Structure 1
């Protein structure tokens, strides 16, 4: 079976999340379920968050592992958690879209870049936060 970086089974719509820990855990679990990473990767996502917030602005956070987490990555992948009520990522930064990523080699840089381009447009982020279907979310990222 071909390993798809981004697909509907790695998107959670309308998540009810009460804190950053839950948000990162869910984004990580989706990557585990998609067979992109091992469970150990989630711990590295928390390490990364402790080093520096993965909140990038515009209501978006991109939790991912540290450089030491490469051994836990089986394939590149993206997970998306839509949180309409938002979750506090610290310093008053509220994330409505949590995008978990794992990348083989330097692929994470390209993935991050593509996500940053899409999420730099406030209109795109609003559309993603308010999307009612997984297909609508996928379409926005495929469009770039």
Structure 2
């Protein structure tokens, strides 16, 4: 299984607020076997230190450095929130939670940066309707 797999792509979700989105992000990483249940606490702590909002409607929630020991394997999930989530005043439509102890996720984040630099591709990511489209847009 790669860092981003089809099982980690969750489309057409809804969240009542930022914390609900964080809970869903942590649950996705737990379901992938990447982290334990305590990773949510580390994600909340990171958000209290600095927002993980990236731009173009995307946030990349992840844990603090102190949580690295609890990461079982590198994984990235993709959660789409078509109705948006208020992320400290920013409208987030996609969350890409990260669990990684090394640089295993860097290629995908590089591909994400490329995608977000193209407004049409960024819109395609926010509006993707199937898992294969997401995987293609996120491919390193």
TM-score under structure 2 length normalisation:
0.92
- Specify which of 20, 24, 27 is matched with residue 25 of structure 2: 27
Query: Who is 2:119 aligned against?
Result: 122
Query: Who is 1:88 aligned against?
Result: 86
Cα 1:106–1:139 shift into 2, 3 Å: closer
| C-alpha distance in 2 between matches for 1:119 and 1:39 | 30
| C-alpha distance in 1 between matches for 2:108 and 2:134 | 16
| C-alpha distance in 1 between matches for 2:46 and 2:104 | 17
* 1:23-102 equivalences in 2 (<5 Å): 23-90=21-88, 92-102=89-99
Give the count of matched residue pairs.
Answer: 140
| C-alpha distance in 2 between matches for 1:43 and 1:31 | 13
What's the CA shift for 1:122?
2.0
Aligned-CA RMSD value: 1.5
Q: Runs (4+) of structure 1 moved beyond 6 Å?
A: none
TM-score under structure 1 length normalisation:
0.89
In the alignment, structure 2 segments of 5+ residues that lack a partner are: none
What's the CA shift for 1:114?
3.6
